[in-house]
Amino acid sequence: MAEKKSPFKFLIDIPVRNHWENVDLLRTSLLNCFTAIFSEVDGVHAFATVAAELLENAIKYGHWTDPSSRLHLRVSGDNGTARVEVENPIDPSSEAAKDLLSTIAWLKTFPSPEDAYRARLLQVATAASGVSRLGLARIAYEANATLVARIDENVVRVTCVTNVV
């Protein structure tokens, strides 16, 4: 009789001070932690990069008027599927909030993250503004991931779901 394999699960759920230096500290910590667990190193690097990029976006575009406000990082997974969720305060009427939601909706119009990334690269190459808005498309492509954003009152949660083997 074959032994039944138990589901593999992991969870990291922590508040984070919204300081730039914490982005690299957390990226490195996730990279080290997951390198010890998973056999696919490329997927681990992509996943740690996704977490870092989402944290950077949260710091850059968050609404940090309250000095006690914090980021919240939740990393979880089971059976090869990994999720990273970053939560931060936001002004729901801000351009940053509107841009985030419209970019994620735009990404979903493509058959794959790679197609969206290629389209964004073409937009960047032909744009005169110098603003790329490439970050979300790049991390979706590099991690072969799905991105979702939800705004509840004054908090935004951006979730990335990918496979890590």
Kindly report the CATH number assigned to the domain that includes residue 14.
3.30.565.10
pLDDT in tens, 67-98: 888 899 999 988 778 899 999 999 999 999 99
For residue 52, is it within any domain? yes
For residue 154, is it within any domain? yes
For residue 118, is it within any domain? yes
Does the predicted model carry a pTM greater than 0.75? yes
pLDDT in tens, 14-60: 999 999 999 999 999 999 988 887 777 777 788 888 999 999 999 99
Does residue 5 surpass a pLDDT of 60? no
Q: What is the pLDDT of residue 72?
A: 96
Does residue 108 surpass a pLDDT of 90? yes
For residue 105, is it within any domain? yes
Q: What is the pLDDT of residue 140?
A: 93
For residue 4, is it within any domain? no
For residue 96, is it within any domain? yes
Q: What is the pLDDT of residue 1?
A: 42
Residue 154 exposed, middle or buried by CB count within 10 Å (0-12, 13-18, 19+): middle
For residue 3, is it within any domain? no
Residue 48: give the domain boundaries: 10-163
Q: What is the pLDDT of residue 131?
A: 66
The band of 119, judged by pLDDT with boundaries at 50, 70 and 90, is very high
Q: What is the pLDDT of residue 3?
A: 47
Distance, CA of 45 to CA of 24 (rounded, Å): 13
Domain count, the chain: 1
For residue 5, is it within any domain? no
Question: Contact at 8 Å (CB) between 162 and 50?
Answer: yes
DSSP for the chain, please give it. -PPPPPPPEEEEEEEE---HHHHHHHHHHHHHHHHHH-S-HHHHHHHHHHHHHHHHHHHHHS---STT--EEEEEEEETTEEEEEEEEE--TTSHHHHHHHHHHHHHTTSSSHHHHHHHHHHHHHH-SS-----HHHHHHHHTT-EEEEEEETTEEEEEEEEE--
